[in-house]
Structure 1
Amino acid sequence: MAGQMEGLRCIWCGFGVVYKGKLPSGQEIAVKRLSMNSGQERSERLLVYEFVENGSLDRFIFDPIKRQYLDWDTRYKIIGGVAKGDETQGNTSRIVGTYGYMAPEYAMHGHFSGKSDVFSFGVLVLEIISGQKTSSFQYGENVEDLLSCAWKNWHEGTSGHIIDPSLRTSARSLRDIMRCIHIGLLCVQEDAADRPTMATIVLMLTSFSITLPIPSRPAFFVSSRFGPEISLLQEQNSRATDATESSKNRSGNSTDASINDVSMSDLYPR
């Protein structure tokens, strides 16, 4: 296979090169070539997957009809496969990302590391389990931030509330789902130093003998739709308004005085 890579068609180069090919049986496959510094000694390693036409994961996970065909065993294999793929890539130096999946240290300060990939993986895990996007998680009648909602429910012992209702769960699968929620929350912790490495995550997924630490609050945490963060913003805006009025009074009725407009903004996580 390695000697025939030139005959395959490159179909994606986002996080490593992925080729589309065909087996002698006629089955189409997707082949991902691992980086040479991925820790796989000196031999070249390839990951071979069944090729799915237009098979972007989000087209299935976020579609209310299609995601019904993704049972927990399938979703668990996806989570494990992504974890192992990220682990073999080693430390990446390619800085890419989408808001909502980007780690706070990169989104806010431009700092990037392997723990940034861990954060993105944690978001993906919670999306796969809930069947909803991180930025528009439907929780009852409200639209909330998935990370905040997942952490609050885990903290209150009600993690089952964020599980995709279309998933048919058994006692065994429910145990696996709860553990994956726990792992996902460990990945999205605000402090990058608290997040596990991808190698540790693979062990957590494959060995139930490993005790998981308690996750701290996730990045971009929003306590509630009208919680303390909103109150703080209102207080800051109130102070700014008072300062503007004071400045106007000192300036008298001069038309040359500038007016600073202060508007109320809704807080939404990235």
Structure 2
Amino acid sequence: MSEAASQNGSQEEDLELPLFNLSTIATATQNFSPHNKLGEGGFGLVYRGKLEDGKEIAVKRLSLSSWQGVKELKNEIKLISKLQHRNLVKLLGCCIQGEEKLLVYEYMPNKSLDFFIFDPKQGKLLEWAKHFQIICGIARGLQYLHQDSRLRVIHRDLKASNVLLDNEMNPKISDFGLARSFGGDQTEEKTNRVMGTYGYMAPEYAFDGLFSVKSDVFSFGILVLEIVSGKKIRGFHHENHGLTLIGHAWTLHKEGSSFSLLDERLRDSPHNRKQVLRCIHVGLLCVQQSPMDRPNMSSVVVMLGSESELPQPKQPGYSTEMASVKGDNSFAKPKSSSMNGMSFTMLEAR
């Protein structure tokens, strides 16, 4: 890549990825002009840019106060540079120069998934067939991370805002700052620093620090329920007498009325009733309380693409509102607290 330049020989060897000059990124983004801002979160800002050859890029500029330091940045770079899949966002390069920490991605013209499924106007633009395509694409991306990639990668922060959409509305999983890779026969790991987004976190991770491919499966199940219903996992309890979105879906399933979970905006447009019910059923299988009961992503991909009979889901996690898990908390300003003798890092939504 002609625009990329080595700023430090050891860094380039360490990161195994082209390094951009800061001046190149500044020119591409018009000196990080507010007019080019694509989004904002706890990590900092994302800008749209255009290189001299006309290639459009998205630049993730980490703020000085960001929770994501050089260690997390290098972790994201090392992991994603080794991953290649149509349902994963492509990392083109990076820049670590002075106090600037930048990641350069392929540009996704349709922003993130949350922009469409939660926005009253934008949500009307996608028919059910596209919703189903997005669900299946995310499932294939996770299957690749968990099973088919060179590394077994646990994302640990899968949510609607971390799924980007290309010009054909194909989903691409992004933001690997919290991802961890497993080697050999390792199946789970425990951490004393729980980081992620409450609401999407599996119970065993949120409370005991245990994460595995099954904790990602739980997050995927939440995402499926959000895509089908058009409702956010956090805040839903205000409308349903203490039931979370999971609890509401679980109650409807037991009553045999799961279809009423479907977003009202989709009911008057073409839809496949069996597909809708199957997605809800699979979502509930993914959010079961016990990790052992949840399917792996390979099974999820098969279940979504077939008409075979599905096992009945058991009691899900977080079916009712719990005082210990509040808000759509993610990373911005750390607030240390403890629960069961364990340190938590709770941060604002990004």
Q: What interval of TM-score do these two structures reach, taking the shorter chain for normalisation?
A: 0.5 to 0.7
Inter-CA distance 140–107: structure 2 relative to 1 (3 Å threshold): closer
Q: Judging changes above 3 Å, is the alpha-carbon distance between structure 1 residues 190 and 143 closer, same or farther for their aligned structure 2 residues? A: closer
Residue in 2 aligned with 1:192?
291
Residues 63-120 of structure 1 show CA distances to partners (whole Å, capped at 9, x for unaligned) of 1111111111111111111111111112326274200000000001111100000000
TM-aligned CA deviation for residue 208 of structure 1: 2.2
Q: Do 1:72 and 1:173's aligned partners in 2 also have CA atoms closer than 8 Å?
A: yes
Matched, 1:218 2:316: yes
The structure-2 alpha-carbon separation of the partners of 1:71 and 1:143, relative to structure 1 and needing over 3 Å to count, comes to farther
> Residues of 1 paired with 2:78 and 2:274: CA distance?
32
Q: TM-score, normalised by structure 2?
A: 0.51
Larger radius of gyration: 1
Specify the alignment match of 1:85 in structure 2. 141
- Please list every run of 5 or more consecutive structure 1 residues that lacks an aligned counterpart in the other structure: 13-19, 39-43, 226-265
Change (3 A) 1:186 1:158: same
Which position in structure 2 is the counterpart of 1:68? 124
- Structure 2: distance between partners of 1:159 and 1:148: 12
Higher strand fraction (1 or 2): 2
Q: TM-score, normalised by structure 1?
A: 0.65
Partner of residue 173, structure 1: 272
Alignment check: 8 A CA contact 1:105 1:112 kept: yes
Give the 3-state SS of the residue equivalent to 1:219 in structure 2: coil
Name the residue aligned to 1:15: none
Residue 125 (1) aligns with residue 164 (2): no
Conserved in 1, the CA contact under 8 Å of 2:224 and 2:279? yes
In structure 2, distance between residues paired with 1:138 and 1:76: 25
SS at structure 2 position matched to 1:213? coil
Q: Take 2:78 and 2:140, find their aligned partners in 1: how far apart are those partners?
A: 11
User: Matches of 2:19 and 2:57 in 1, distance apart?
Assistant: 13
Listed as ranges, the gaps of 5+ residues in structure 2 are 5-16, 26-37, 40-47, 59-76, 90-105, 147-151, 155-178, 181-193, 327-350
Q: Distance in 2 between matches of 1:34 and 1:181?
A: 35
Q: Which residue of structure 2 lines up, in the alignment, with residue 160 of structure 1?
A: 259
**In 1, Cα distance between equivalents of 2:302 and 2:252:** 25
Checking the alignment, whether the CA contact within 8 Å between 2:127 and 2:269 is kept in structure 1 is: no
The question of 1:183 aligning with 2:282 is answered: yes
Identify the structure with the greater helix proportion: 1
The corresponding residue for 2:205 is 106
**Number of aligned residue pairs:** 215
1:177 partner SS = helix
Instruction: Say what the alpha-carbon RMSD is for the aligned residues.
Output: 4.1
Shift in CA distance, 55/143, structure 1 to aligned 2, threshold 3 Å: farther
